[in-house]
Structure 1
Amino acid sequence: MNALLYILVVAIWGTTWIAIFLQQGPVPATVSIFWRFAIASITMLTILLLTRRLRSLALRDHLFCILQGCCVFGFNFWCFYTAASWINTGLESVIFSMAVLFNAINSFLFFRQTPPGRFYLAALLGLAGIITLFWDDLQLSGLSSTMLPGILLSALGTYGFSLGNMLSIRHQRRGLETLTTNSWAMLYGTLIIGLIALLRGDNFTPQWTFSYLGALFYLAIFGSVIAFGAYFTLVGRIGASNAAYSTLLFPLVALTLSTIYEGYQWHANAIIGLVLILVGNLVMFARVPAGFIKPRLKMKRA
């Protein structure tokens, strides 16, 4: 079961970056995010209500869901969508792969889970990889260009995603059902980003084109309902750090699509940087726990 969830997350999230690229245009990022998660949250809540799987939550749990919605279904995607107008979405996915390192740091900060010794080598390789990957672009455009803000926004969005992972762990440690907390968090994130769009005076009319609406549907149903459900289920089954291992393969999928659709051009520094980042992530998971392949089974005596 874990392997199937892992494959779903990699296959879907590896392709959502190009869908974000297809939504770049006249529609404000806040509006695109609002419609994406409005469709996704309504779909999830409707399914849970019809199947009677929507569980009640205490007020305190709802407050944490609001916080999770801001981290995972609101501000972080505002960072990603904004950065996509400045840097290649394939490169964004490379930065997003650093979630594995952020999760290790946050697991220590919030749950006192000491990262393994290999974490420090992995972090060093990841940082060196990102610098190498963007070195040519930064030299050509200068640090004052939109390249550096795009990198920083992508990193900030990734850290927000990691904080959402910690909140998901909190929910599951309290015995809360993942689909229920995910649905409420998604709805709250939608309402908050919608309020921001309203205060900004953004036009809520989507772009009535096949590419925009197709990308919207894919991001809402596959990228949000299915992939987030699968990912946070993995977080509960194998832990946040191990679930983030799925981000290892995102750049390979996303950069391949970016090469085809965005005209991304490979150069020596890009290849070296990508290899360093991937090796850094591999170092973090040099020994994958047995639970990654199949869940632990509790043996019962007859």
Structure 2
Amino acid sequence: MTEAPPHALLRPRIAIPFVLIALIWGSTWFVITTQIAEAPALWSVTWRFAMATPAMFLLAFVLRHSLRMGGAAHGLAAAMGLFQFCGNYTFVYLSEFHLTSGIVALLIGMMLVPNAVLGRVLLGEAITARFLIGSLVALGGIGLLLLNEAHVAPLGGNVALGTGLALIAMLAASIANVIQAVPTGKSVPLVTLLAWSMLYGTLIDAGLAWTFEGPPVIPASQAYWLGTAWLAIVGSVVTFPIYYDLVRKLGAGRAAYNGVLVVVIAMVISTLFEGYRWTPLAAAGAVLAMIGLVIALRAKHLPR
């Protein structure tokens, strides 16, 4: 894996895409709640990636990337489709029936832990003492934010089930994050790999939706399809190539810190558009999370 030098996040070629992804993904959590309100979660996930898949193939064509891959790469793409574009999003959508979108975002933000562990096991990425310290600080901040959310937005539904679903979503995304950076994945253009993985994921999504929810549910609301288009094109086609490239440049553990920034940005967006009110607990959590992010991302990345 390419070594990222210390303080790499401070360089524009890293900082700009890092912040751009966080800004986009920070806006998607509320949109997801509007999706599950109008159609079964499994069909909403299917429509999202049915729209994103041809756009990703088109992007590969525009970039003049070959769409041909070997059997091993197709196997990897199928695994990514299963974990990222089916498992991760299906469980995220389902978890939002039981938890607020803010709490789900906070739980997904803990992905930095499995990313670092899997990156160590599968990619040989070192886990430095500084990264560990930053992670502990950030997790402490996430904990305070989670506690604040529980206080200001009392939980409803089956909390244990919702938490379990969100954690499964987090692990599924983490697995996809790491396996795309193995040698097989790096042997083909990233956009090509993503296009095929989205196709496989969409087929799995559709199969599960038809099995568990019955024939396709097609909402008539224009707002639903506008939201789906935002999630598919901006929230998926634009962001995933950039994010997975960051995984390869920064390492899986440090790239996952994007999720920490996403949480804070989501809260800022909620402040501007949904009347979210900051409490001392929320402010302390956000500050701790950002301090942890800076500490961890300034740590050296030393491949084994």
TM category (shorter chain) comes to 0.7 to 0.9
Distance 1:258 1:151, change over 3 A: farther
| TM-score using structure 2 length | 0.83
The 5-angstrom pairing of residues 75-224 of structure 1 reads 75-135=87-147, 146-171=158-183, 174-224=186-236
Once residues 117 and 38 of structure 2 are traced to their aligned partners in structure 1, the CA distance between those partners, rounded to angstroms, is 37
Residue by residue, what CA displacement relative to the aligned partner does 1:54-93 show, whole Å, maximum 9, x if unpaired?
3311112111111111111111111111122222223322
| 1:28 and 1:202 in contact (8 A); partners too | no
Residues 171 and 200 (structure 1 numbering): CA distance in 2 closer, same or farther, change over 3 Å? Answer: farther
Residues 129 and 256 (structure 1), Cα distance of their counterparts in 2 relative to 1, 3 Å cut: same
Counterpart pick for 2:243 among 231, 240, 243: 231
The 3 A distance-change label for structure 1 pair 123 and 235 is closer
Could you say which residue in structure 2 is the equivalent of 1:279? 291
Gaps of 5+ in 1: 290-302
Query: Under a length normalisation based on structure 1, what TM-score does the superposition of the two structures give?
Result: 0.83
Distance 2:242 2:143 in 1: 32
Preserved contact between residue 14 and residue 246 of structure 2 (Cα < 8 Å)? yes
Q: Take 2:118 and 2:30, find their aligned partners in 1: how far apart are those partners?
A: 28
| Unaligned residue ranges in structure 2 (runs of 5+) | 1-12
Alpha-carbon separation, structure 2, partners of 1:148 and 1:262 = 26
Q: Aligned residues, how many? A: 289
Deviation at 1:192, TM superposition (A): 0.5
Report the counterpart of residue 254 of structure 2 in structure 1: 242
Report the CA distance shift for 1:72/1:62 in structure 2 as closer, same or farther (over 3 A): same
User: Which contiguous aligned blocks of 4+ residues in structure 1 show a shift greater than 6 angstroms?
Assistant: 139-144
Which shifted more, 111-120 or 182-191?
Answer: 111-120
Match of 1:295 in 2: none
In the TM superposition, residue 46 of structure 1 has moved relative to its aligned partner by 3.2
Residue 6 of structure 2: aligned partner: none
Aligned CA distance change for structure 1 residues 7 and 126 (closer, same or farther; 3 Å)? closer
Question: What do residues 178-223 of structure 1 show as CA deviations (whole Å, max 9, x unaligned)?
Answer: 0011111111111101100011133423322232111100001001
Cα distance 1:146–1:271, how it changes in 2: closer, same or farther (>3 A)?
Answer: farther
Q: What are the superposed Cα offsets for residues 248-279 of structure 1, whole Å, 9 maximum, x if unpaired?
A: 32112211233455555544443333433333
Q: In the aligned structure 2, how far is the partner of 1:81 from the partner of 1:203? A: 19
Task: Give distance in 1, aligned partners of 2:63 and 2:119.
Answer: 34
In 2, are the aligned partners of 1:18 and 1:257 still within 8 Å (CA)?
Answer: no
